[in-house]
Amino acid sequence: MHHRIALIFIILLGSLSSCTWYEGRNNPYMDEEITFSENIAPIIHQNCTPCHRPGEAGPFKLISYHDVSKRSKMIREVVETKYMPPWPADKNYSHFLNEWGLSDDEIQLIQAWVLQGSKIGDENSIPSPPIYTEGSMLGDPDLILKMVEPYHIEGNNTDQFMVVKIPYELERDTFISAIEFVPDNRKLLHHVNGHVVQYDEGKKEDFSNGKNSVKYDRSISQHLLYMEMGILNDDGTYPYLTSSVVNYLPGSVNTRYPDGIGGISLKKKGFILLKDIHFGPTPIDTSDQSSINLFFAEKKPERPVLEILLGTLGATKVNPALIIPANEIKTFSTQWEVPYTISILTLNPHMHLLGKSMIAYAVTPEKDTLNLISIPKWNFRWQFFYTFPKMVKIPVGSVIYVSATFDNTLDNPENPFNPPRTIRERNGSMGTTDEMFQFIITYLPYKEGDEHISLQP
């Protein structure tokens, strides 16, 4: 008898919990009518449309009522779980520009809207979505350079690396405020690191010789590679190669700094040299023809941005050596003593599929701790270049500590091997199933007042 009552009770509870009244009981917005036109469109346009529009990373567009209402249940789920919009860095630890994320209020509005049946409201008062430039996160580029020909990606289930050159010619030597990489094959393209090769007047006549793309092979010397690609000056000497000026990782948005900071001077003629473009494995033959956006600057860049790479292949060692035994969770660290006072602009933490968490902070000579970034739950898909709202001053003699934890157990759903295998750095091999622990810092030598300069473009 008791059993039966308990059973009925459980059934009753079960059906209550699946009904609307019960689900929305703590949601203050359930008492008002929530509509797309009035409440939801502004949230979507600001927080979702930048990525969910044609030509950007999101797999479908979220702009119109139709786009959003047909996926309303899934949208509710991804915002409640905070899977979307993606922002892996801990906002209680440090802040950056363009932090994606919804407030609790906004999440409740979306929840109430979906529970009430995703109503459109007054169709005529739906705000128009912001105007975006297709193919750019930064605005209208002054010049678009496309890879000369599509690169064929073999469907052989292995990682592929290549080097590509894209020739450019300007009317005159020009100041550039930003260079943006726009991936064509977003599914496979994993990362890119680009430089500019520039020629002094009269040093190179023919820009059409040499191959436009070459499979990257560690065993080929740089000299041979440059010969094969026709990059050397006509007299066989080396042209001028800038440090890394364009980077891409999934989810990353390039930064355009305020006038005078960053940017480069470009000579009239040259190549954009994309080194180690990395395509993930695919079972089907496909191709990629990515492009580059150039943004011109009014003024000469007075303060070129410096970059240091800590960890794998970088200026500082990983401790202990990056070997992650099968079935273990293991933490590694690296550290850099700042040689003079610097102003940090951006941070870019990088790991692959076994990444679990990363944290970085500076300790000053007075033993003050300055938080830099914490990523409590690493997600391989989102590797942003995190830009501080204002530059962060790190006094001379401070030590920057970075610590990264890797999960090589089966509890990590991204583990590429089952059963897990011991994974190591393999001399900086960059395959998706090898590991890396890198931390890139871009900075300037400190100048009085830097910490008050806003980096908001």
Residue ranges binding ligand HEC (CB under 6 A): 47-48, 50-52, 57-59, 62, 71, 74-75, 78-79, 84-86, 100, 102, 251, 381
Contact 343, 442 (CB under 8 A): no
Residue with Cβ nearer ligand HEC (183 or 431): 183
Q: How many helices (H) and strands (E) does the chain have?
A: 7, 22
How many angstroms separate the first and last alpha carbons of the chain? 71
CB of 440 to ligand HEC, least distance (A): 19
CB of 383 to ligand HEC, least distance (A): 11
CB of 39 to ligand HEC, least distance (A): 13
CB of 382 to ligand HEC, least distance (A): 7
Amino acid identity, residue 133?
T
Residue with Cβ nearer ligand HEC (85 or 263): 85
In 65-123, alpha helices (H): 65-69, 72-80, 104-115
CB of 106 to ligand HEC, least distance (A): 8
Paired tokens of 115: 């529970």
CB of 46 to ligand HEC, least distance (A): 9
Non-local CB neighbours of 421 within 8 Å, separated by 6+ positions: 326
Residue with Cβ nearer ligand HEC (62 or 115): 62
Contact 120, 113 (CB under 8 A): no
Contact 332, 322 (CB under 8 A): yes
Total residues found in the chain within this entry: 457
Question: Taking the CB of residue 227, how many other CB atoms lie within 10 A of it?
Answer: 13
CA dist., res. 213 & res. 382, Å (int) = 27
CB of 136 to ligand HEC, least distance (A): 14
CB of 66 to ligand HEC, least distance (A): 15
Residue with Cβ nearer ligand HEC (51 or 455): 51
Residue with Cβ nearer ligand HEC (65 or 168): 65
Quick one: residue 189, left, alpha or beta (phi over 0 = left, psi -120 to 50 = alpha)?
beta
Contact 184, 151 (CB under 8 A): no
Distances (CA, A) of 248 to 192, 276, 305: 5, 11, 17
CB of 90 to ligand HEC, least distance (A): 17
Residue with Cβ nearer ligand HEC (165 or 352): 352
CA dist., res. 457 & res. 438, Å (int) = 27
Question: Up-side HSE of residue 86: CA atoms within 13 Å toward CB?
Answer: 19
CB of 51 to ligand HEC, least distance (A): 3
Residue with Cβ nearer ligand HEC (62 or 266): 62
Residue with Cβ nearer ligand HEC (243 or 456): 456
3-state secondary structure of 121: coil
Non-local CB neighbours of 42 within 8 Å, separated by 6+ positions: 127
Please give the sequence-ordered ranges of beta strands (E in DSSP) within 255-385, or none if there are none: 264-266, 269-279, 286-288, 291-296, 306-311, 323-324, 329-337, 342-350, 355-363, 369-375
Residue with Cβ nearer ligand HEC (168 or 378): 378
Paired tokens of 333: 């660290």
Residue with Cβ nearer ligand HEC (16 or 74): 74
β-pair partners for 403 = 333, 359
